[in-house]
Structure 1
Amino acid sequence: MMAPLPEDYRHFLRELRPRSVAVLPVRGPDRTLGLWMLLRFSPEPYGADDLLLFREISDRTALAIENAELLRQAHDAVRLREDLVAVVSHDLRNPISAISMVATALLRRGPQAEGLDKGVRRIHAAADRALRMIRDLLDSTQARVGELPVERRPFDFQEWVRGVVDEVQLAHPGRVILLHTEGPAQGAWDADRIAQVVTNLVGNALQHSPPGSTVRVDARALDGEVLLSVHNDGAPIPPEALATLFEPFRRGPGAGNQPGSVGLGLFITQRIVQAHGGRIEVRSRAGEGTTFTVHLPRDVAPPRE
């Protein structure tokens, strides 16, 4: 049983003096969401077909309102999750960074006692994995709502890549990483973001190639741009996986249960490259291995609004 119309509605109807009035509740699964009020001023009254149409409109309206409410709740849940990830990740980053820096300093002192040296390398590797996951989670949250920010400054691309590769090599003493550089490569990029690109691509190559194989890194200067390529001799990427390779939370078929990745590295790498006005390509074939190639323009483009 419906409640009587409020006085202001009745006053509204008396002022308009319609010939016919149809009032239909807009009902959700467990509540009434509102009312449809339809007025006709012509002499013909509403008929059965009209009421059937009105009920259909009312039902569709209720469905739209319920869906909009569910969508709002989903957005709120996603926002809460991303805020929680951001806060926790930020709070964890500082203590883990301290652990990583101490482990790095110990490793650079040279060989320690056999057991101590092995333990320090494990600490360094674990802290490095944790920092990468924290950084990737923070970046993925930002990348999904907009473009990743970049802060350009002039530097030598070749020298910077060499330093980053040396750090990756330090964390993987049992692997061979060969670096080839060619030509002068001065330009302006975000140094920290470029380090992420190199670390992600070289780390990805190490993860998806046989333990005894060599990972090759090539940094070359071209007209107006620099080129970075990272090659590994692992199994080729299946064609069906190539289509979604740069989507978030996608892990390659060869990743298995290896730690240190949540499937965000390539997604973030692509976004960093795009934020610099560049592009990234991948070529993967049986017998040839897999090569990721990054093209980065050298000119200093103004940041996009």
Structure 2
Amino acid sequence: MTPTTRQAPVRLTQFAHGGGCACKIPPGELEDVVSGLTPSGPATDSPLLVGLATGDDAAVVALPGQQGTAVVSTADFFTPVVDDPYDWGRIAAANALSDVYAMGGRPIVAVNLLAWPRDRLPFELAREVLRGGLDVATEAGCHVGGGHSVDDPEPKYGMAVTGLADPARLLRNDTGRAGLPLSLTKPLGLGVLNNRHKATGERFEQAIATMTALNRDASVAALAAGATCATDVTGFGLLGHLHKLARASGVSAVIDAAAVPLLEGAREAVRDGYVSGGTRRNLEWVAPYTDFGTTDADTRLLLADAQTSGGLLVAGEVPGAPVIGELVPLGAHSIVLR
């Protein structure tokens, strides 16, 4: 698909040091920060079903006296990933909702999180951001009940989302087992295309359509197929999130690099040098745990590409999603590329 150039009156991406989930704190640094931040005392009676221990996508708490119901809680926000404020709001909302879907839950209510440089950007743009978030939340059947805003030199937007799930039918990142195939529900390449957009103003409709697509149907399909293990692929890239899943589940993964779907234009963006620092940090982090085989340098970068509102990586077959590899017994590496 040929990129288009549709200049927004204000280029929001020029007000941010990074873009989308590429502005996340690097995974290795983040793990050092949160290490040990778990409640003291015995956990056997705790209603907290999923917390910090495995670095899963959201927290899950069982409701006392409500058998079969658990609360899923998450928050996600980031700097502008595209220049169009309405599209940025849609993308940020879809990304925040994705954490609930990645746990097998259903979002029910969200609140906005908005940081805005009020002396540098007009509030009309902020309204468009919030409108985009509201429209996607409405599509998801999720109420939006206000939120919180601060004056900030750099614009940021996202949502804190609360959902419901069946505690007996969660999707977790620590329940994978050897022999399960790995399915990926959205193509990769969002990070490099967004980075190209920030640098040149080119607009990639295929990237916007992918980022604004809800992971709702993929989550429902994964649960219907009997899956119990999944994660969404966002700022740490496919390799980073897969490493976390494999480590939490005590297995390794073999990936057929040629089977991984890519967005049109992604390879060209890597070839032309539009690779974020976040993507390079992702690759550096997973390198000690990965056998890259003969995989070329550009493909390695795409597999580590920092995605924004990416798809679900599911241990199991999901109708309509390509199988890109499988989980295998624990070996010398978390990930082996073929």
Q: TM-score range by the shorter chain?
A: under 0.3
Structure-1-length-normalised TM-score: 0.23
Structure-2-length-normalised TM-score: 0.21
Q: Is the radius of gyration larger for structure 1 or structure 2? A: 1
The structure in which a higher percent of residues are helix is 1
